[in-house]
Amino acid sequence: MRTPKAREEGFSSDGYIRDQDCFSDLRYRTMPASINGCGWIAAYNLRRFLGQETDWLQVCQELDSMHLLRVPGPTLMTVMRTYLARYVPQARETVGREEALAAAAGSRPGIFRYREGREPHFVRFSRQEDGSFRFFNVSDGLEDCRMSMGQFGREHLLGGTVIVFTVE
C-alpha cells in the first residue's frame, strides 16, 4: 500500500498543518481529507503545540479508525471527545457561543467546533505573545492567520452550536 502524500504548502514553516486542501491524496472517512480533514488536523495541531511527539498520518488514521461506521462525513464529536480524553486529558469542553469565546480567550491553545458557513468545522488556535490568537485552517485565505478572539467570533461563529476544547 502506498503512503499518502501531502503537498508541502499544507504545512506552516513551524510544522503545523495549515491547509486541509493539500491533503486530497489522503482518505478520511472514505473521502479525500481535503474535504473533511479538519478534525484530525485540529487534533494533530493541538498535540504538536503541546509538545507531544506524533505523526500527522498516524493521527488521521487513528481518528478515522475510531468511527464505527465506514461512511463519509466529518469527525464526530463523540470521536473527538474520546481522542482528546486519550491524548489531552486536561482539555476542558465548553458549549455555547459566548461561553466558548470567554473560555477560549482565557486559554493558551484549543480547538473550536462550529459551522464555517454551512459546514461543521474544527479549528485549532493558540494565544500568541502579543495577546492575539493564531488560527489554522479556518477557510480559504485564512490558512494561518492571527486575530483577536472577538474578531474570530464576529466573523466565524455566526450560527449553530459552538463548542471549544481549551487547555490551560
- Say which CATH number the domain at 88 has: 3.90.70.10
Determine, yes or no, domain membership for 3.
Answer: no
- How far apart are alpha carbons 88 and 47 in whole angstroms? 8
Q: What is the pLDDT of residues 15-50, one digit of tens each?
A: 999 999 999 999 999 999 999 999 999 999 999 999
Judge whether 74 lies within some domain: yes
In a domain, 59, yes or no: yes
Q: Please report, in tens digits, the pLDDT of each residue of the chain (168 residues total).
A: 567 778 889 999 999 999 999 999 999 999 999 999 999 999 999 999 999 999 999 999 999 999 999 999 999 999 999 999 999 999 999 999 999 999 999 999 999 999 998 999 999 999 999 999 999 999 999 999 999 999 999 999 999 999 999 998
On whether residue 86 sits in a domain, the answer given is yes
Grid cell locating 143: 490558512
Give the pLDDT confidence of 4-23 residue by residue, as tens digits: 778 889 999 999 999 999 99
What lies within 8 Å, CB to CB, of 14 at 6+ separation is: none
pTM given for the model: 0.95
Instruction: Tell whether the torsion through CA atoms of 149, 152, 155 and 160 is positive or negative.
Output: negative
- Side-chain-side CA neighbours of 66 within 13 Å: the count stands at 20
Task: Please indicate, yes or no, if residue 64 is contained in any of the structural domains.
Answer: yes
Q: Could you tell me if residue 112 is inside a domain?
A: yes
**By residue range, what is the domain housing residue 148?**
16-166
DSSP state of 127: E
Confirm whether 8 is domain-assigned: no
Q: With the CA atoms of 27, 55, 137 and 167 taken in that order, what torsion angle do they form, in degrees rounded to the nearest 10?
A: 130
Number of domains in the chain: 1
